[in-house]
Each structure stands twice: as C-alpha cells, then as structure tokens.
Amino acid sequence: MTTPAQPSRFTITALSISGVCAVRRHRMGDARGSLTRVFCPDELAAAGWQWPVAQVNHSHTLQAGTVRGMHYQRPPCAEAKLVTCLRGRAWDVALDLRAGSPTFLRWCAQEISADNQVALLIPPGCAHGFQTLSDDVELLYLHSAAFAPLADAGVNPQDPLLGITWPEPITVMSDKDAQRPLLDRNFAGLLP
C-alpha cells in the first residue's frame, strides 16, 4: 500500500548563483499554535541538498548593523549550509568561490527573518556572511560537514573586488573578519 504524496512544506527559489536557493517554509497552524518544518532531506533534495547534517550551530548577534563573514571551509572540508533566522532579521549573503563557476566571485543575498520563514541554502565552495537588520538576531545553521579548524577560511567582507553591498552601515565586525586579506586578482578559486 502506498501513501499519497503530501505537498512540500517548502517553496524553493533558485537565486543568481548556481546552487544557492531561498527556501521558504510553510507554517501550519491551528488554534493551538503552529508547526514549521525546518529540515527534511527528501523535500530539500529539490533545492540540491544531498548531504547528511553533520553539525548544527546557533548564533546570537546583539546589535543591528553587525556583519559576520564571509566564512567558508577549504576543500576537502568544504560544507553546504542551510541558514535559518529564528529571531529578528538578517541580510544573508552567499559568495561564489568555485573555480570555473560561471558566477565566480559574484554574490547574491536574501533577507531572512523569523517572520518571512525564508532560509538560505549555500552549496560547498561558496562563502557565507550576513548583516543583522535588527537587534537580537538568532540564526540556526545546518552544516554538511563539521567545523575543521585547519580548513577555516574567509574573505574580507569589505573587499572592493567583491563589491558586496551591505544594506546598513557596519556597526560591529570581529577583528578576525575585518583583518581578513583582500583577494588577489590572481585568486583562481576553490577546487573540489
């Protein structure tokens, strides 16, 4: 006996970088409250998610205007991320660092918030960062690979070569992110 297929609880929208998707969740509710599916590998396969979840992280950022990023892990520890906003609002950015990609060194962004129920799916080989658009922003990250300190890397979020447009003046950034080197014009990208 087969069970009838249920409609997906996600609407997937491809963004301008191959493999980067906005994933809108559909909240189901009744008089008791609501339920929102955060992750389902079968349903997210349509967005390109094909990995196990190896690690889940939660960040809390206190002040609007804060920038965290642009972070990635070097191959062979490259990771996919599914980033969800649990509280507040954030401008979530993906930057394509994949060698040979037609969108190499281009970025795209999506506002994610507790209200809009949108998450950003970021494939391996892309850097990730965000700017908080409100105070007290909480993000939940599902990672396809565990954090590997020796593979930890990043791109300066203010690198003029990248031209990332942050929607608000930057109020706070870690010393580590602010001191990341600028990309050399000879940067060839990340190989798998």
Please report, for the domain that includes residue 20, its CATH number. 2.60.120.10
Q: Is residue 168 part of a domain?
A: yes
Q: What is the total count of domains within the chain?
A: 1
Q: Is residue 188 part of a domain?
A: no
Q: Residue 102 has what pLDDT?
A: 96
- 34 or 105, which is more confident? 105
Residue 1: what pLDDT? Answer: 53
Span 73-122, pLDDT tens digits:
999 999 999 999 999 999 999 999 999 999 999 999 999 999 999 999 99
What pTM, to 2 d.p., does this model score? 0.91
87 in any annotated domain: yes
Question: What is the set of active-site residues?
Answer: 71, 141
Range of the domain at 66: 10-26+39-125+138-143+159-178
Instruction: Tell me if 152 is assigned to some domain.
Output: no
* DSSP string for residues in 138-171: EEEEEESS---GGGEEE--TT-TTT----SS---
Specify the pLDDT at position 118.
96
